[in-house]
Structure 1
Amino acid sequence: MAVTEQDPGTAVGSPRRRFTPGGVLQAVGITVGLLAMVGGFALLAVMYRPYSVPTDSMQPTVRPGDVVLAHPVKAGDIGRGDIVVFNDPQWEGSDLVKRVVAVGGDTVACCDTRGRITVDGHPVTEPYLQPGAGGSAGSGTFDVTVPPGRLFLLGDNRPVSQDSRVHLAIDGGTVAADQVVGRVDGVVWPLGDTRALTRTSAFDALPGRDASTPGPLSLLTWTTLGGGALVLLTAALGTFGGLVRRLRSRRT
């Protein structure tokens, strides 16, 4: 009786596994999607820290209950118009979110005849302020020359914000720039209001440090979401293709 020689790598009765172009594309799509999703999420976790905002001092830009994402920033890179998280022991000793309106060397004052703050004598129109809140700086006047390496900060909801104006007796209400723990780039919670915060041009007409360029929050977010969408879409197309092939094989 003749014995048929068999390929040692092939089991008896098992068909050879064939790699189709569709299967290869599906594997590549899922791999790329997973890399983008995991990589983007990992970079977000490393480069950003979440902070909860309990008050309405930064409305309408940041609302009570919002969770913001802050990117670490060097003291020398902070510019006018940046929204920052800082912690000054001479204030509340907790993390606070305010907007920088003057940096070291600036003279900031309240207010001109239209209720606008002035920086080095230049009135600043601030489109991000809470509508209908009265004068742009709220009640009270001030005239402060910011020492080098320090910042003057105000809330966007000026009438209720407890900011540099409340602490004028302590270093003119200024905060050391190295007390800033991060620049706020976006809101991550609630989910229905997730958004990146855009750079303001309110201070661009002034010489010196304007609002800094936002970090990679939008890019990393879209990379993470896009990677997840690619994984789901590729898997769905693969499943649909398999169903079509099985239906065809039953008809033949």
Structure 2
Amino acid sequence: MDTQAQHSERDRSSESDTGSEERSRFSRMRARVASALSWRRVLAGAVLATVALLLFSSYVVQPFLIPSRSMEPTLEVGDRILVNKLAYRFGSEPERGDVVVFDGTGSFVREDLDANPLTALVRGAAASLGLAQPADTDFVKRVVGVGGDRVVCCDARGRLAVNGTAVDEPYLYPGDTASRVPFDIVVPAGALWMMGDHRSRSSDSRDRLGSPGGGMVPVERVTGRVDWLGWPPARTGSLEGTGAFDGVRAPGGAHG
């Protein structure tokens, strides 16, 4: 027997096994690297998408979750609304009948100087994505009076009047009158008088009549106009406007 030939065959076999193991280790290592890079790409993509969505919701359209019954039947608990943040950015101002989201700090709620800024930041980010209820300072109501308007309630038919014109409000919750609490106010320039559509369940400008500011919301505190419903699927679409205030005249006598 040729022992040298046998040794050569064993050497070649050993070298082949070693090479196979090295290739296998290399393949496994390459697979791990590819997997890590893939997860990094996914994570980076998710972060970029979240940042883009946050920027979009901060400057263009922001989703909000409706937590209460104060705007029924127009908005229901659990609805996710889409707020047009560009509606009042280019010289336009809220009009009577608009449904808006606003920051009630200083008008509907007192300023909380002890609030945790980190908690507020996290909650605000979640609310901006429509994943959490809005902050306690965020409200959604309907604009009933703008600067200079005299709003009076109520007449014999339970209606309010704006600048002497009685207003029929078809969006009110069935069975509700314009208000159970009588009032007679004049809205200061640069401010708004806000009311919910479910008047018997809404805490709004009427409840702040005796507070500093008298329940008036500064125009600059308005976040945007509610233009669309994004959820649930059966209710998605544009939020219908109202012609309830079409006959109201501006304080100077012209149609508002």
Pair in the same fold by TM > 0.5: yes
- State whether residues 144 and 172 of structure 1, in contact with CA within 8 Å, keep that contact through their aligned partners in structure 2: no
Q: Counterpart amino acid of 1:177?
A: V
Match of 1:157 in 2: 198
- 1:1-252 alignment to 2 at 5 Å? 47-72=60-85, 73-74=87-88, 76-90=92-106, 91-92=108-109, 94-133=137-176, 135-137=177-179, 139-169=180-210, 170-208=212-250
Equivalents in 1 of 2:207, 2:163: separation in Å?
21
Percent identity for Structure 1 against Structure 2: 43
- State whether residues 81 and 99 of structure 1, in contact with CA within 8 Å, keep that contact through their aligned partners in structure 2: yes
> Tell me, what secondary structure is at the counterpart of 1:129?
coil
Aligned length: 168
- TM-score where L is the length of structure 2: 0.61
- State whether residues 155 and 161 of structure 1, in contact with CA within 8 Å, keep that contact through their aligned partners in structure 2: yes
Q: Counterpart amino acid of 1:192?
A: A
Equivalents in 1 of 2:220, 2:192: separation in Å?
10
Q: Could you list the per-position Cα deviations for residues 136-195 of structure 1 after superposition, in whole angstroms to 9, with x for gaps in the alignment?
A: 22x211111000000000000001100000011232221001100010001101122212
Equivalents in 2 of 1:96, 1:53: separation in Å?
9
Equivalents in 1 of 2:162, 2:71: separation in Å?
20
- TM-score where L is the length of structure 1: 0.62
> Tell me, what secondary structure is at the counterpart of 1:186?
strand
Q: Counterpart amino acid of 2:196?
A: G
Q: Could you list the per-position Cα deviations for residues 50-81 of structure 1 after superposition, in whole angstroms to 9, with x for gaps in the alignment?
A: 01110000000000111101112327421000
Q: Could you list the per-position Cα deviations for residues 99-132 of structure 1 after superposition, in whole angstroms to 9, with x for gaps in the alignment?
A: 0000000000110110001101111000011012
Equivalents in 1 of 2:242, 2:94: separation in Å?
13
Q: Counterpart amino acid of 1:68?
A: I
Equivalents in 1 of 2:60, 2:215: separation in Å?
30
Q: Counterpart amino acid of 1:187?
A: L
Q: Which runs of 4+ in 1 moved over 4 A?
A: none
Aligned-pair Cα RMSD in Å: 2.4
Unaligned runs of 5+ in 1: 1-41, 213-252
Equivalents in 1 of 2:92, 2:233: separation in Å?
33
Q: Could you list the per-position Cα deviations for residues 178-225 of structure 1 after superposition, in whole angstroms to 9, with x for gaps in the alignment?
A: 10001000110112221211121100111349xx9xxxxxxxxxxxxx
Equivalents in 1 of 2:215, 2:154: separation in Å?
16
Equivalents in 2 of 1:116, 1:107: separation in Å?
14
Q: Counterpart amino acid of 2:158?
A: G
Equivalents in 1 of 2:79, 2:184: separation in Å?
32
